[in-house]
Amino acid sequence: MLNWAITFLIIALVAALLGFGGVAAISVEMARILFGVFIVLFLIAAVAHAARGKSLPV
C-alpha cells in the first residue's frame, strides 16, 4: 500500500512539473489517502502484535 502512495506522489510531481493541474491534484489526494490508510493499518498491526506479547524481530 505504501508503494501505491509513493507511485501516486511521483505521478503528482511529474504532472505538476508538466502543468497538468487536475491530474496533479487528484494524484496528491490519492497519495494522501493511501498513506493515511497505510499508517492506520500499521498502527493496528503493531498494537495487535504487542497485545499478543511477542517481541519485535531483530
- Please state whether 27 falls in left (phi above 0), alpha (psi between -120 and 50) or beta: alpha
- Model confidence at 40, in pLDDT bands (50, 70, 90)? very high
Number of domains in the chain: 1
- Please state whether 44 falls in left (phi above 0), alpha (psi between -120 and 50) or beta: alpha
Is the pTM here over 0.85, yes or no? no
Is 56 a domain residue?
no
What mean pLDDT value characterizes the chain?
A: 82
Is 25 a domain residue?
yes
Is 17 a domain residue?
yes
Is the model's pLDDT at 58 over the cut of 70?
no
Q: Between these two residues, 44 and 56, which has the higher pLDDT value?
A: 44
Per the structure, the complete domain to which residue 37 belongs is given by: 2-51
pLDDT tens digit sequence for 16-36: 888 877 888 888 888 888 888
Is 58 a domain residue?
no
